[in-house]
Amino acid sequence: MSNLMYNKMWHQTQEALNSLLDKEFQKMSEPQANKVLVFQMLATFYINYVQIFRNMENVYDQIVHPQKRMLIRKVLDGVMGRILELKNEMVELEMTEFHYFDDILQDLKLSPQQLDVPIPRYFLKERLEVIKGREKILARILTECGLNLPVKYAAKSIALEEAVKLIQIAERARQGRLRALFMKQIFLQECRAKEMKLLGHRLLDTKLAALQIQKVWRGFHQCKKTVKEREEEMVFLGMKPSPLFNEVSDAIVQSKQVTNLRDEVQLKHEQDYQEALVNIKEDLKMLEGPDIKEHLQDQIRQWFIECRNLTGTFPDYPNEEDGGSALIFSNKTPEQVMGDIIATQEEEEKLKKKKKKEDKENKGKKGKKEKKEKKEKKVSLKEKAMKDEDEEWKMSPSLFLQLMEEGNSLYKDIWLNKDESWNFPQDYDPELIKEEKRKELEMEIRVQVDELMRQELKNLKLAVNREMEIPPRQKKGKKKNKGRKGRRGKRGKKEKDLTADRTIESLYQELVEKGLLIQALKVNLSDYIGEYSYLGTTLRQVAIEPMPSLLDVRQLITLYGILPLGSAEVHERAPLVKSLLLAGPSGVGKKMLVHAICTETGANLFNLSALNIAGKYPGKTGLQMMIHLVFKVARQLQPSVVWIQDTEKTFYKKVPQAEKRFEPKRLKRYLPKLLKLLKPDDRILIVGTTHRPFDAELQPFCRVYQKIILVPRPDYASRYVLWKEIILRNGGKLTNSLNISCLSKVTDGFTQGQIVQVIKDVLTERRLRQQAHKPLTAIEFITMMTNMNPVYREEEESFKNWYAKTPLGKKRVLSLTVGNKEKEKDKGKKGKRGKKKK
């Protein structure tokens, strides 16, 4: 049943993709001048592609048919790449990394959660064995070096007198507690005796006693019932989680078992498919190979004879480099081939006649042409100036639309109306394999047939025409030039391999021992908790630039970091992002995002921070060796992330006296060169993190980092979600006595790191045990935060001002000023028209 469900989902998603591709091809042919309409169009396409990507990723993860999965993967990579292209278009149009789609989501009736770009599960699933093997090697090397020792709080050795004092203090405290409990019991007994004396005769009246008990019991029972009803109402309204919210249900356990079983079936079907590819090809070679060979020989012989009859001579046989006989018989019959030969001969004769006429006419018109050209140049310059003023926006050519179109046409040809009633277990289709392998087999046999037929053609020429086959003359000059160019190009591109005699394993071990290759923390991107900015579009309409929300940052990390590193196809064709800078106050989660990129893609993590490389590989040659080692291993074991923590130190305006001995600016000259050497095939991302970007020289800083992401402190909505989620994760219980809204309001300005630290400090093991009779309150967390310094408005403004000086920030400011001037002009024109009417 589940296979049928996901097959149905696939068909629906393909239909949606087909209609979206038709719409996009229509819009691409229509140039537009209005930027607002262009952005709405791009945003609508982007949101629709995200929905298709979400469904397609789900289908790819669940379907077990191997041949369907190959096609879905092709389309999935195409959709992924198109999302990145559309994002790039929006960035170039609006001159900002952050975009808000509140109004468009409302029109499409979608929730903001549906805008979140999913991370494909196959990034890790298909490389799971490789990642696990690498982790084992890394752990082994770290333990051998003594760098992976578990953190244990060793007991401090103390003097005997101090130990006796500690035992005495503990014992006296225990005795004091027991004595206090005993005194409390005596006090209660005395109180009861006093009450007995005062009441006296009333104790004999049993009816009054029973009535008193009833009153207390009924009040208690009703109070409990009211509280229960109120909680049920809050759960029903969705204002409070259900009591079983944190408990793992049976359905979830069962779904996990089903996914594990599905993974096993997927793996088995894939193995069967790979075996079938080999076996079916061998069977076809045995059964159909001789017939294919005979058919090809007859076809080529017929071509020889007909060419001889038409032209009087035998034809020249095409070279292997050009494709051999496949160049002539590409899905054509011998009759069609002869028609092509006759047509080409007629065209050649016509061209010769035309050239003779043109040569005669050109001699008399040279003088006139020169005068006309001068005039045309002047006119063209004026036209260009006019065009630049009224430029219309056109979408840049896409490298992924063709890929999606190919996948879509394959789906229509093969799977749209295919009857699969015979294939209930969704195993491979042998007929599809036969069609594919027949073509491969024909190409292999054609190479053998070409060799035989070339010899046969030589024999025919000798026997019939007594001709010797004259080899085609090679143009010496051109070949030499090509060779020289090629050599020059190779000389320029080739890098000296400083470690040609060493294995990758030894280089890997050396980098781990030196602390340059580190173990990434197991952190998922979903652990970076935050909420959407619901007023982004509204604020921009009022000319207020909103600070990005945490989920906007998370989405950019997915688009620029995770998706290109995870898929080689996407990285090669999509807009290339070689480097990424995360700038923001300390404690906002920059380090966590770097580790999340590595966790989600299974990437290696290299640490080239200024403090980490201090004293390692000294001197110029040592630095070159270090960079060579890092990038050689990063290329061989890609995907890889090169992390430069506190990257402002590498680009210091002025190095502080205390840090001069560390030589923090060692990498400054080499980083731009390294970026130029990175090609689309290299899935390597350089990520820098900084909490003081204003200490760095701006121009070299922005030259190295292609994308700059400003990571803000959390807003109210993000803080609310963060408090709630982290308290629950650390074993806390949310009750009415804990006002989360109050906590979120009071902690304005505090970062995620500070909030997490406070929660961990408050929720000790002892405090967690006390929750049953002493629920958590907001004041416990607030008192712990009094010792911490928040991020003030002035610091946030300094980050904004710094970002406005970056290349993209400058363009954004310029576009806003130009837009405001145009609006003022439009208002002025409208005002003048109104006055004229009056």
- Render 720-774 in DSSP notation, one character per residue: HHHHHHHHHHTT----TTS-HHHHHHHTTT--HHHHHHHHHHH--HHHHHGGGTS
pLDDT for 838: 47
In the chain, what's the furthest Cα-to-Cα distance? 147
Q: Are 512 and 138 in contact (CB under 8 A)?
A: yes
Q: Are 561 and 597 in contact (CB under 8 A)?
A: yes
Q: Could you report the per-residue pLDDT of 453-472, keeping only the tens digit for each?
A: 888 878 877 777 654 444 54
747 vs 736: CA distance, rounded Å: 19
pLDDT for 463: 74
| Three-class secondary structure of residue 689 per DSSP | strand
pLDDT for 435: 87
Q: Are 656 and 529 in contact (CB under 8 A)?
A: no
Handedness of CA 124, 130, 132, 136 (dihedral sign): negative
Q: What is the dihedral of CA 330, 333, 337, 338, to 10 degrees?
A: 170
The token pair that represents 683 in the structure block? 């899935």
Looking at residue 232, its amino acid is E
268 vs 257: CA distance, rounded Å: 17
Burial state string for 117-148 with b = 16 or more CB within 10 A and e = fewer than 16: bebbebbeeeeeeeeeeeeeebeebbeeeeee
The token pair that represents 144 in the structure block? 């051998």
State the Rg of the chain over Cα. Answer: 38
Is residue 38 pLDDT above 80, yes or no? yes
Q: Which residue has the higher pLDDT, 490 or 303?
A: 303
The confidence band for 736, taking pLDDT boundaries of 50, 70 and 90, is confident
The token pair that represents 725 in the structure block? 């989620």
Looking at residue 84, its amino acid is L
pLDDT for 201: 54
Query: Residue 580 pairs with which residues in a beta bridge?
Result: 687, 707
In 3D space, the residue among 319, 311, 315 whose CA is nearest the CA of residue 474 turns out to be 319
H/E segment holding residue 564: helix 563-566
In 3D space, the residue among 750, 757, 758 whose CA is nearest the CA of residue 779 turns out to be 758
Q: Tokens 């400054």 appear where?
A: 668
- Please list, in sequence order, all residues whose beta carbon lies within 8 angstroms of the beta carbon of residue 267, skipping any fewer than 6 positions away: none
| Three-class secondary structure of residue 772 per DSSP | helix
Verify cis geometry, omega within 30 degrees of 0, for the bond prior to 639.
Answer: yes
Q: CA dist 185 to 194, 197, 773, Å?
A: 15, 19, 21
Q: Are 87 and 400 in contact (CB under 8 A)?
A: no
Is residue 478 pLDDT above 80, yes or no? no
In 3D space, the residue among 440, 491, 133, 401 whose CA is nearest the CA of residue 288 turns out to be 440
DSSP symbol at 127: T
Q: Tokens 């989660």 appear where?
A: 589
pLDDT for 382: 44
Q: Could you report the per-residue pLDDT of 561-573, keeping only the tens digit for each?
A: 999 999 988 988 8
Query: Residue 685 pairs with which residues in a beta bridge?
Result: 641
- C-alpha neighbours within 13 Å on the C-beta side of residue 744: 19
Neighbours of 116 (CB within 10 A): 16
Handedness of CA 276, 278, 279, 280 (dihedral sign): positive
The residue ranges of DSSP E strands in 130-226, in sequence order, are none
Region 484-512 average pLDDT: 68
Q: Provide the whole-model pTM.
A: 0.80
Percentage of the residues of the chain whose pLDDT score is greater than 70: 83
Region 534-551 average pLDDT: 82
368 vs 378: CA distance, rounded Å: 16
Neighbours of 597 (CB within 10 A): 26
Which of 102-106, 288-292, 415-419, 496-500 has the lowest average pLDDT? 496-500
Q: Could you report the per-residue pLDDT of 182-237, keeping only the tens digit for each?
A: 999 999 999 888 877 776 655 556 787 788 889 999 999 999 999 899 888 988 88
Q: Which residue has the higher pLDDT, 331 or 413?
A: 413
The token pair that represents 129 in the structure block? 């064995």
Q: Could you report the per-residue pLDDT of 335-366, keeping only the tens digit for each?
A: 555 566 566 656 666 666 666 666 656 555 55
Cα 189–chain centre separation: 72
Q: CA dist 521 to 286, 359, 562, 589, Å?
A: 54, 75, 16, 13
In 3D space, the residue among 587, 535, 545, 559 whose CA is nearest the CA of residue 714 turns out to be 587
Q: Could you report the per-residue pLDDT of 140-183, keeping only the tens digit for each?
A: 888 887 765 444 444 567 888 889 999 999 999 999 999 999 99
Q: Tokens 């109104």 appear where?
A: 834
Q: Are 747 and 788 in contact (CB under 8 A)?
A: no
289 vs 274: CA distance, rounded Å: 21
The confidence band for 76, taking pLDDT boundaries of 50, 70 and 90, is very high
pLDDT for 164: 92
| Three-class secondary structure of residue 244 per DSSP | coil
Helix-strand-coil split of the chain, %, nearest 5: 70, 5, 30
pLDDT for 235: 85
Average pLDDT, the chain: 81
Region 119-125 average pLDDT: 90
- Render 159-186 in DSSP notation, one character per residue: -HHHHHHHHHHHHHHHHHHHHHHHHHHH
Burial state string for 290-305 with b = 16 or more CB within 10 A and e = fewer than 16: eebbeebeebbeebbe
- Render 297-316 in DSSP notation, one character per residue: HHHHHHHHHHHHHHHSSPPP
Q: What is the dihedral of CA 386, 388, 391, 395, to 10 degrees?
A: 140
The token pair that represents 758 in the structure block? 């406070």
pLDDT for 832: 52
The confidence band for 95, taking pLDDT boundaries of 50, 70 and 90, is confident
Q: Could you report the per-residue pLDDT of 398-433, keeping only the tens digit for each?
A: 888 888 998 889 988 888 888 888 888 888 888 888
In 3D space, the residue among 271, 282, 280, 278 whose CA is nearest the CA of residue 427 turns out to be 271
806 vs 699: CA distance, rounded Å: 8
645 vs 592: CA distance, rounded Å: 12
Q: Could you report the per-residue pLDDT of 672-726, keeping only the tens digit for each?
A: 888 888 888 889 999 999 998 988 888 888 889 989 999 998 989 899 999 999 9
Region 378-399 average pLDDT: 56
Region 733-748 average pLDDT: 88
Cα 536–chain centre separation: 23
Q: Which residue has the higher pLDDT, 644 or 421?
A: 644
Query: Residue 641 pairs with which residues in a beta bridge?
Result: 605, 685
Q: Are 59 and 12 in contact (CB under 8 A)?
A: no
409 vs 21: CA distance, rounded Å: 12
DSSP symbol at 651: T
The token pair that represents 56 in the structure block? 């397609």
Looking at residue 611, its amino acid is L
